Structure 1
Amino acid sequence: MSKKVINNQTILRQCVGIDISKDSFVACISHKTSTDEIIVKSTKKIPNSLSGYNTLQEWVTKFTSPELPLIYVMEATGVYYEPLAFDLLERGKSVSVQLAKNVKFFMQSHNIKSKTDDIDAQAIAQMGLERKLKLWQPGSIQMRLLKHLCRERIMLQAEQTTVKNQSHAWKHTYKPEKSILKRLENRLSFIKEQIQEIEQEIKSIVENDQDLAKRVANVCTIKGVGLLSAIVIIAETNGFALFNNKAQLISYAGYDVVRKQSGNTEAKTRISKKGNKNIRKALYFPATSACRFNPKMKNTYENITQKTAIKMKGNVAVQRKMLVLIYTIYKNNIPYDENYQYDKERNDTQKNKAESIINCPA
């Protein structure tokens, strides 16, 4: 392990914790010694701009050692963290971006009750020193663009629903103003055109990438999964690049099951919903369709609905199965085969029989 002796203290790790906002950010440099003591070296408020990023590097150089690894840890605050995070990556720095709830739980575990920008930055730096955090890996430019387009489409669809409801209400009011109805209709037409433009742009991006187009086409062979639903799921997961198994994916999407029990009290199990809500939204209608037209998914839906008498639980179970199925098909780049499991079991049975015949004593 690398170490550095400064002022008669052996420094093992160093971290820059950053609490960021729109116009500025507070950075805190902290060290961890061989006695597990956390030492706050310096705290500074810096403009959230390109000149501020240069100031950050000059300031960090004064209080850190180039002989020890240095990690920058920041909270994912909206989109305001992205310019700084990308700037640090371009400079070859190690960056970790943490969800706000993770920072909150860490502060609670240390009984930190006060909340200021300086305290938050110090807590984030301490978190970087005490925990082994994953380094931030931004998605590819293509996946980031697809994700932004898909999210803009979701936003416009929500706005379209709002305007439709407003138009419906005005049409049924007493003596509605024609000018108001006309403006609402014009707004609806404009939103519809924008949605169509976005969908066309999404399709063009996919078509121009042969590998992605093939993988998306394979995913769409699943009954109930359409082109745009598939792209939303793929883009939100960065092409499943950061997932090593289905359990990680299920947790990321918020489909992991939560159980609460204490003494004689046990609450009903449910999914955590602590994950990417856009994935769950994108899977709702495909799962609804699969419950009707995909025999295997329909069987799952009916079994759970009969046990619980709650249709949504059956739908959620199908959503979860479809997510894992999409992950498997995208990773393996193969089309969907509804008899795959049956064929696999049959082949395994035949193989076992053949081995037993070969190994049978004469």
Structure 2
Amino acid sequence: MLQIGIDVSKKKLDICLLLEGISGKRKTKVIDNNAHSANELINWLGKQKCRLEEVRIVLEATGTYHELLCDQLFDAGIYLSIVNPYRIREFAKGMGILTKNDTVDAYTLACFGTLKQPDAWVPPPAEIRELKSLLRRRDALLADVLCEQNRLEKAEVTRTPKIVMRSLMKMLKALEKEQKAIEAEIAKHINSHPNMKKDMDLLTSIKSVGPQLGGNMLMVLRGRNFHSAEQVAAYLGVAPVERRSGTSVNGHAHLSKAGPSDIRAKLFFAALTATRFNPHVKALYERLLAKGKSKMSALGAAMRKLVHLCYGVLKTQLPYDGNYAISC
């Protein structure tokens, strides 16, 4: 098998092809990141006498800049894997690769693919991808609304001209209207797909899981093939990481924070509510505090518990039961 690493940026793709393993001969190529990138890459591989069925491509998840390329490569029947950038950075350190630039990153990704052989990526269903786009837009509008509210608040306590005040209020009203319209579209989209609607009902049956977190967890859990709740927790960056060795190193466990920070933030605020109103999370939180754990450590465990509950209701296809085995 021929391993390829691709470092993706907004404007270009840095490609590294390992012809003879990690320490052997390799070839590099830089191409533009656009709608024709996949075809250009395939043509280049043909010139290198590489058969597509023998190629294994590894690249990082970089916001949205990798999505079109991945879709086109998948449609071409090429085996590719999308890996977490945090894992690649730690892998590079373990390999003794301290330099970080696009060419080195592409080589590191190729090495990672050779040694770790990550699973193949499969694109999420079309309805999940549309949900992801809608949720992204809603989050952007929520951020804009908050910014405009802060501007209006500052303007109200200073000598601000009336024309500026009118502009602020007009813009805030327009943003709030658009936010409500997108939220209505999200609800419409979910309700138009029976399986998604059922999953959303199951997720929001969990106390403290509302439409925002429910929609994001639906996107995560149905957009990837997770085999366990622990995998979901690790992906979202709420898995505990210990730092202990011998008698001299005895650091406190902390969240890995290796996943999407926006969903993790929603989990955090949901966990705050869950420690008061969700019987399972509340029992866990109070038990950890009684053992002397810090509040932040207990909140991290509460976030993981919510992830496990979300995974559980979709796995069993049963609504949340607040009275079920609370002692666990």
Aligned-partner Cα distance in 1 for 2:107–2:143: 39
- Pick from 204, 208, 222: which aligns with 1:239? 222
Q: Is the 8 A contact 2:53 2:78 kept in 1?
A: no
Question: Identical aligned pairs, as a percentage?
Answer: 29
Q: CA shift at 1:240, angstroms?
A: 6.3
Residue segments in structure 1 that go unaligned for 5+ positions in a row: 1-12, 346-362
Which residue pairs with 1:18 in the alignment? Answer: 6
2:244 is equivalent to residue 261 of structure 1:
yes
List aligned pairs for 1:266-285, cutoff 5 A.
Answer: 266-285=250-269
2:130 is equivalent to residue 145 of structure 1:
yes
Aligned-partner Cα distance in 1 for 2:307–2:101: 40
Number of aligned positions between the proteins = 327
List aligned pairs for 1:155-170, cutoff 5 A.
Answer: 155-170=140-155
**Which one has a bigger Cα radius of gyration?**
1
Q: TM-score, normalised by structure 2?
A: 0.89
Q: What amino acid sits opposite 1:70 in the alignment?
A: V
- Pick from 119, 131, 135: which aligns with 2:116? 131
Q: In structure 2, the residue corresponding to 1:287 is in which secondary structure?
A: helix
Aligned-partner Cα distance in 2 for 1:278–1:67: 36
Structure number with greater CO (CA < 8 Å, separation at least 6) is: 2
Aligned-partner Cα distance in 1 for 2:127–2:194: 13
Q: In structure 1, the residue corresponding to 2:25 is in which secondary structure?
A: strand
2:85 is equivalent to residue 100 of structure 1:
yes
Q: Is the 8 A contact 1:287 1:322 kept in 2?
A: yes
The change in CA–CA distance for 1:314 and 1:121 in structure 2 (over 3 A counts) is closer
Q: Per-residue CA shift, 1:253-277, capped at 9, x if unaligned?
A: 2121122124334122222222232
Q: In structure 2, the residue corresponding to 1:340 is in which secondary structure?
A: coil
List aligned pairs for 1:261-340, cutoff 5 A.
Answer: 261-262=244-245, 263-308=247-292, 310-340=294-324
Aligned-partner Cα distance in 1 for 2:151–2:52: 63
The change in CA–CA distance for 1:164 and 1:271 in structure 2 (over 3 A counts) is same
List aligned pairs for 1:61-210, cutoff 5 A.
Answer: 61-66=46-51, 69-173=54-158, 175-210=159-194
The change in CA–CA distance for 1:124 and 1:214 in structure 2 (over 3 A counts) is closer
Q: Per-residue CA shift, 1:38-79, capped at 9, x if unaligned?
A: 221x32222223444323222211224439721122233332
Q: TM-score, normalised by structure 1?
A: 0.81
Aligned-partner Cα distance in 2 for 1:250–1:67: 34
Which residue pairs with 1:357 in the alignment? Answer: none
Q: CA shift at 1:37, angstroms?
A: 4.8
Q: What amino acid sits opposite 1:118 in the alignment?
A: T
Which residue pairs with 1:29 in the alignment? Answer: 17
The change in CA–CA distance for 1:213 and 1:71 in structure 2 (over 3 A counts) is same
Q: Which moved more, 1:278-287 or 1:201-210?
A: 278-287
Q: Is the 8 A contact 1:32 1:129 kept in 2?
A: no
Q: CA shift at 1:335, angstroms?
A: 1.2
Q: CA shift at 1:182, angstroms?
A: 1.6
Q: Is the 8 A contact 1:255 1:271 kept in 2?
A: yes
Q: In structure 2, the residue corresponding to 1:77 is in which secondary structure?
A: coil
Q: In structure 2, the residue corresponding to 1:267 is in which secondary structure?
A: strand
Q: Which moved more, 1:123-132 or 1:140-149?
A: 123-132
Q: In structure 2, the residue corresponding to 1:135 is in which secondary structure?
A: coil
Residue segments in structure 2 that go unaligned for 5+ positions in a row: none
Could you say what the CA RMSD is over the residues aligned between the two structures, in angstroms?
Answer: 2.6
Aligned-partner Cα distance in 1 for 2:34–2:217: 33
Q: Is the 8 A contact 2:190 2:196 kept in 1?
A: yes
The change in CA–CA distance for 1:286 and 1:100 in structure 2 (over 3 A counts) is closer
